[in-house]
Amino acid sequence: MKIIGLVGGTSWVSTIDYYRAINEGINKQLGGNEAAECIIYSVNYGDIVRNNSKGDLEATFGIMLNASTHLKNSGAKAIILCANTMHMFADRISEKVNLPVIHTAEACANEIKKKGLKKVALLGTKFTMEMNFFKDKLKAHHIETIIPDDTDRAFIHQTIFDELGKNIVKAETKAKYLAIIDRLVALGAEGVILGCTEIPLLLKQSDSKYPLFDTAIIHSNAAVEFMLS
């Protein structure tokens, strides 16, 4: 088994889900008492939020690079960034630490193609929705991405940080997310990417008649595949 390094803490709530899903995936494949050989470097989410709020993305990059370097020095053979937003740095981190960074958008594109979809909606932080690091990976697989309007993007971003990242789940927030999804489907979306690892705390496939792509689970499965390759 290849040892994998997880950069977590962004947020701690979703990092727990990654740890659980990766260990469950390894055990499903190997049986018995087998579990994942992994290392977690959990950063202070407060530092990330402060940096990003004032537009200092380079400071955030430094935090993620430092964590990834520690993981490599501890024996990790690949890096998992346990947050979609942090994948804005994935290619730079891979180059700097000279390790593969298993990209959540690549893994997600593979799952979307399995369902034969060509146009999907992307929910996430404003960085994930508005920047191109996620959408460009999908475009390379001939998958078109649409995002919510300004008002809906602001609502999603705010609830990720003020509610879901603190493990606060509200029925009224779920209702608003489902209404946003309906509007995106009306614009042609055939499925919806839950492109923030906290959103699956709020929405499950059973909540929607449209295909939902849980990036935390998809990404964790890609990690398991790498570890056993």
For the stretch 174-192, pLDDT in tens is 999 999 999 999 999 999 9
pLDDT digits (tens, 9 = 90+) for 19-49: 999 999 999 999 999 999 999 999 999 999 9
Taking Cα atoms as reference points, which of 66, 15, 74 lies closest to residue 223?
15
What is each CA distance from 18 to 117, 131, 146, 216, in whole angstroms? 26, 24, 26, 6
23: Cβ–Cβ under 8 A, 6 or more apart, which residues?
35, 36
First-to-last CA distance in the chain? 8
pTM recorded for the entire structure: 0.90
Of all residues in the chain, the percent with pLDDT exceeding 70 is 100
Report the half-sphere exposure of 107 (CA within 13 A, side-chain side): 23
In 10 A of CB 171, how many CB atoms? 8
Domains of the chain, CATH where assigned: 4-103+218-227 (3.40.50.1860), 104-213 (3.40.50.1860)
